[in-house]
């Protein structure tokens, strides 16, 4: 039998909560970062794909904020350069050469980090690869590798470092996905699918942490448009005034700011929030027409990229 009194109470609480958190989100969107930023000085930050691109820029920004840096990349030379830049702003930095395609390698080096440094407070799953080829032209090995780096590595990294965060009820996990993890793109079947997986992983993990009462452990999923780091060299946008190719410095700063403010989802540029909301209410054929008009369906036509480049 339905308890209508209890149901009414739950409904009123739900409606009040909706209004409260909606208003809170509006206020947080308006307030400058400096007025709501948490203090992360002295915390240990691990960044994958730290040897180049936004991984390097985020690492240096975290270092400037007084964090201890743990830098992972398969490119040892690039990783050492990032460490040099971090040390140049007065931070400590340790480098580890890791192949994120190998789960056992991830767990082995994670154990080494715990012995060398201790607990990780902020984990940034940033490393990623792209083939940029039509589906039937992608080898089976490259499809598997795309998922290993872009999706499965997030699972193994979190399995390695999340338990301590949960025990302490303190920590932050950043999963760098893509706007291609929210909307399919012609010529990016494997990449889109892997990034859709990263988005779903982050959302489900966030709900799990909430239900377990781990309100001190935060997650942020990052869904940017193309970033001019070289990874998507040759990609184009038909409407740069609306969907610009992002500058690496802008993207990396927005991600770090999202961590400082415990922002759950960040989509870049902001215009994409409108398109993502529109996707859920328009017919699929209308979506296809809009993607063609705004150039999304042809953005990969002149793709060059950098072979197996992590970013």
The catalytic site residues sit at: 191
Q: Are the C-beta atoms of 254 and 298 separated by less than 8 Å?
A: no
Per-residue three-class SS string for 43-84: CEEEEECCCCHHHHHHHHHHHHCCCEEEEEECCHHHHHHHHH
Residue owning tokens 């964090």: 67
Q: If we measure between CA atoms, which residue out of 245, 284, 238 comes closest to residue 268?
A: 245
Beta strand pairing status for 68-73 and 93-97? parallel
Q: What does the CA dihedral 216, 249, 276, 273 come to, rounded to 10 degrees?
A: 80
- Which residue reads 């040099």 in tokens? 84
How many CB atoms within 10 Å of residue 105?
16
């Amino acid at each position: 039998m339905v308890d209508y009194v209890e149901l009414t109470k739950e409904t009123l609480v739900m409606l009040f909560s909706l209004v409260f958190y909606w208003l809170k989100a509006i206020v947080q969107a308006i307030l400058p970062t400096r007025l709501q930023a948490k203090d992360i000085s002295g915390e240990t930050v691990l960044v994958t794909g730290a040897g180049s691109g936004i991984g390097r820029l985020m690492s240096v920004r975290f270092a400037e904020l007084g964090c201890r840096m743990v830098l992972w990349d398969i490119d040892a030379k690039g990783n050492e350069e990032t460490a040099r830049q971090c040390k140049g702003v007065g931070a400590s930095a340790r480098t580890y050469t890791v192949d994120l395609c190998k789960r056992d390698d991830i767990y082995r080096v994670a154990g080494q980090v715990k012995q060398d440094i201790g607990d990780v407070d902020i984990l940034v799953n940033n490393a990623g690869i792209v083939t940029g080829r039509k589906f039937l032209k992608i080898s089976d090995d490259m499809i598997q590798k795309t998922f290993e780096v872009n999706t499965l590595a997030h699972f193994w990294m979190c399995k390695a470092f999340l338990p301590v965060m949960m025990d302490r009820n303190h920590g932050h996990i950043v999963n760098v996905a893509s706007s291609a993890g929210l909307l399919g793109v012609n010529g990016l079947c494997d990449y889109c699918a892997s990034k859709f997986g990263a988005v779903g992983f982050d959302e489900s993990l966030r709900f799990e942490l909430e239900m377990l009462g781990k309100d001190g452990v935060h997650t942020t999923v990052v869904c940017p448009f193309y970033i001019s780091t070289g990874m998507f060299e040759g990609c184009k946008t038909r409407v740069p005034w609306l969907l610009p190719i992002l500058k690496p410095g802008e993207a990396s700063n927005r991600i770090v700011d999202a961590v400082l403010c415990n922002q759950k989802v960040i989509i870049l540029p902001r215009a994409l929030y409108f398109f993502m909301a529109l996707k859920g209410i328009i017919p699929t054929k209308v979506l296809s027409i809009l993607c063609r008009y705004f150039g999304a369906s042809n953005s990969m036509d002149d793709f060059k990229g950098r072979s197996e480049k992590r970013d």
